[in-house]
Structure 1
Amino acid sequence: MSNGPTVLIEQANSRYTMYAVVEQDERTAYFYLYPAELQSKKYRMRACWLRNLQPGPAQRDSVAMANGDAPMLEAQYCNHPEGKEPLQAALISIVWMPEEDGAAVLYDGEILGVIPGWSLYAEDPAAYAADCIGADGNAIVFPLGAPGKNEQHARVAEAIRFRQTWEDTETPQWPVIQQQFISAYEKQFGEIKQYFAIDNNQWPPMALGKFEKDNIVYFLTMGVSIRSMPWVSYLYNETAPAYRRMELALAVSKDDYTEEEIMKMAEGISAIADIPWRHISWLGEGHTVGSSKLPAPFESLVLSAALYTGESIDMPEMYGDKVNLFWVSPVTLSEREYAHQKANGGYELLEKMIQEDITHIVKKRDAIV
């Protein structure tokens, strides 16, 4: 009888939505990604075999699976058919992908296993292990292979570099990024009037700048685009770099709303800035988000770059990617329900809004549906 596996490392991502765990018993070592309890209805655990500690079986290890134990990998698919020495906890580290929905296990600095973020959303989960050299149609794990042969090597190297640049206190990243955004916004809306940190002292730094021009108050975020959003690489594949980063903006007419109402709406923006990472989701054109900070009759916000009618804003790139600027526009309950009636209904709501001459500038209005 086995005493059950020993946990060698357990580490949460920065928002505690996922936990990375490496476990080992006397037969085998595994890497798991577990969704936190709040996420567990939406997402399932993902597993990655790392190594056999005993001679591998000739056939699929169905006995272990029937007993609820982690299966060994067939000998023919291992670079160590006779088994390998147990992993030492002290040599193990975890690196989270920038989206924080996938992670890799490093052993003495070398990649041992990877569970890519998109595996969380796919019907057939996938994981890659350095000690795996082959797979069949029912594979529980795939070979990680050589650096040039599998993009996971580049993704993990990129994630490590990304983390290191933010840990480097000699050359802080944030002042540079902050200034790029402030300059881009000031060019369009004049000098920044106020600056609010909206990151709750969590990494990454995020802020909201307040600007005023022609009796309109503008709020624009900066720093949200430091992280790429979850889901996007799975949905968009090769074109993902065009959709995975965003900042948010709000423009409110001072003729229509009081200073107090305007500040409350701005609070609404800062509350949604972290949603993709707190909920393992993403935000894009036509998406709606509930908000309690809006004046009646509004109860939600719709995100759109298409509503913007001003002069184009030259947004900085972030890590080589385009940054999308989504203007948030308040919508009523009936409008939100209209948007949710069918797939991509948010686009249809935006089309209706544009036909009714509703722009990015928030003014008092009646429901249009």
Structure 2
Amino acid sequence: MSNGPTVLIEQANSRYTMYAVVEQDERTAYFYLYPAELQSKKYRMRACWLRNIQPGPAKRDSAAMANGDAPMLEAHFSNHPEGKEPLKAELVSVVWMPEDDGAAVLYDGKTLGVIPGWSLYADEPAAYAADCINADGNAIVFPLGELGKNEQHTRVAEAVRFREAWDDTEAPQWPVIQQQFIATYESHFGEIKQYFAIDNNQWPPMALGKFEKDNIVYFLTMGVSIRPMPWVSYLYNDNASAYRRMELAMAISKDDFSEEEIMKMAEGLSSMADIPWRHISWLGEGHTIASSKLPAPFESIVLSAALYNGESIALPEMYGDKVNLFWVSPVTLSERQFAHEKANGGYELLEKMIQEDITHIVTKREAIV
């Protein structure tokens, strides 16, 4: 009679939206990704078989599943049909993907199992294990295969390098990134007037720079693009690198708003920077976000690169990816409702705004729908 599985490791991602757990009983070892309670209505647990500790069954282990136990993998799908020694907890480690939505289990530094982030969003879950050598249509796990044959190897190696670089106190990453962004922004908007940390002392470092030019106050984020956003690799596949990183900006007319109103809007902007990772979501062109920091009649914002009509700003690349700069533009309740009426309604709202000569510069205005 089993005493239930032993937990070898449990590790949350940086925002505690998901937990990686490796468990083992006397039959088998498994890796799980569990969404935190707040996310559990939206996302389901994902599982990855790691090894059989007893000889594998000839057929699908339906009895274990009916019993609520983790199923063993069929012997002919595993590279150890007779079973393998139990995993040692001290050799098990977890690395989260940079998006924080997928993770891998390493055993003595080698990849043992991977649950990619996109598996969270797909109807058919997918996981990859080093000790799995084949799979059929009912597969509970797929072979990780050889280096160079499966992109998961590359993704895990990148994740390990990414985390190690940020843990390296001898060669801090942030000062370099920070300076690149400040220099880019200053070349367009003049000398930085104020600098605000907006990361709540959590990794990664994120900040908001305040600039002023021609009676317009500019706020621009930096550090948001250190992490790629969740969801994007699932939605855009091979083109994901063009969409997965962003920074946010806001330009506010001093003729239209008081200093207090301007600073309140900046506060609203800074709270949006972490949304993709706090909510396992993504932000892009035409997306709307509610905000209580806007002066009436505004109650939400729409994100857009297309509203910007100044000289083009080339942001520094991040890990070889393009970084998108989205301008935050306040919208009214009726405008937000218009955007939500149909799929891609945000684009239609932006088209209307552009027709009405509304640009990235925030001014007082009436609702256009």
**Does TM, scored on the shorter chain, surpass 0.5?**
yes
Distance 2:60 2:347 in 1: 48
Shift of 1:41: 0.1
For the residue of structure 2 that corresponds to 1:32, the secondary structure is strand
TM-score, normalised via structure 1 length: 1.00
Q: Partner residue of 1:92? A: 92
Which residue in 2 is equivalent to 1:133? 133
Q: How much has 1:63 moved relative to structure 2?
A: 0.3
Corresponding residue of 1:345: 345
**Which whole-Å CA distance do the structure 2 matches of 1:171 and 1:2 have between them?**
48
Deviation at 1:97, TM superposition (A): 0.1
Question: Paired residue for 1:76?
Answer: 76
Runs of 4+ in structure 1 deviating by more than 6 angstroms, as ranges, are: none
Residue-by-residue CA offset, 1:122-168 (whole Å, 9 max, x unaligned): 00000000000000001000000001100000000000000011111
Residue 314 of structure 1 and its aligned partner are, at CA, apart by 1.8
SS at match of 1:236: helix
Question: Which residue of structure 2 aligns with residue 305 of structure 1?
Answer: 305
SS of aligned partner of 1:265: helix
CA distance in 1, matches of 2:3, 2:345: 53
The residue aligned with 1:27 is: 27
Q: Which residue of 2 aligns with 1:269?
A: 269
Secondary structure at the aligned position of 1:257 is classed as coil
Rounded to whole Å, the distance in 2 between the matches of 1:57 and 1:149 is 28
Matched with 2:215 is 215
Residue deviations 1:176-211, cap 9 Å, x none?
000000010000000000000000000000000000
Query: Counterpart of 1:321?
Result: 321
**Which residue identity is paired with 2:235?**
L
- Report the residue type matching 1:341 in the other structure: E
Aligned position for 2:62: 62
Give matches, 1:167-186, under 5 Å: 167-186=167-186
1:205-239 deviations in Å (ceiling 9; x for gaps): 00000000000000000000000000000000000
Aligned residues: 369
Residue 41 of structure 1 corresponds to: 41
Give distance in 1, aligned partners of 2:282 and 2:68.
34
1:160 is paired with a residue whose SS is helix
Verify: 1:145 aligned to 2:120, yes or no: no
- C-alpha separation between the residues in 2 aligned to 1:251 and 1:70? 54
Q: Matches of 1:109 and 1:206 in 2, distance apart?
A: 30
Is structure 2 residue 338 aligned with structure 1 residue 333?
no
Query: What is the SS of the residue equivalent to 1:240?
Result: helix
Name the CA distance, whole Å, in 1 between partners of 2:333 and 2:97: 36
Deviations 1:282-308 (A, max 9, x none): 000000001010000101010000000
Task: Find the residue that maps to 1:188 and give its secondary structure.
Answer: helix
Q: Aligned AA for 1:114?
A: V
Q: Secondary structure at the match of 1:219?
A: strand
Aligned with 1:31: secondary structure? Answer: strand
CA distance in 2 between partners of 1:186 and 1:264 (Å): 23
Q: How does 1:181-260 map to 2 (within 5 A)?
A: 181-260=181-260
SS in 2 for 1:204: coil
In structure 1, distance between residues paired with 2:206 and 2:214:
27
Letter matched to residue 300 of structure 2 = S
Counterpart in 2 of 1:17? 17
CA displacement, residues 18-42 of structure 1 (integer Å, 9 cap, x when unaligned) = 0000000110000000000000000
The one-letter amino acid of 2:149's match is K
The one-letter amino acid of 2:50's match is L
What SS does structure 2 have at the residue aligned with 1:339? helix
Deviations 1:84-130 (A, max 9, x none): 00001010000000000000000000000000000000000000000
Query: How far apart in 1 are the matches of 2:44 and 2:212?
Result: 46
SS at match of 1:212: strand
Give secondary structure in 1 for the equivalent of 2:337: helix
TM-score by length of 2: 1.00
Distance across 2 between alignment mates of 1:32 and 1:168: 28
Unaligned regions of 5+ residues in structure 1, if any? none
Aligned partner letter, 2:73? L
Q: Which amino acid counterpart does residue 290 of structure 1 have in structure 2?
A: A
In the alignment, the residues of structure 1 paired with residue 192 and residue 297 of structure 2 have an alpha-carbon distance, to the nearest angstrom, of: 30
Q: Corresponding residue for 1:362?
A: 362
User: Match for residue 160 of structure 1?
Assistant: 160
2 CA distance for matches of 1:161 and 1:121? 25
Alpha-carbon distance between aligned partners in 2 of 1:180 and 1:169, rounded to the nearest angstrom = 20
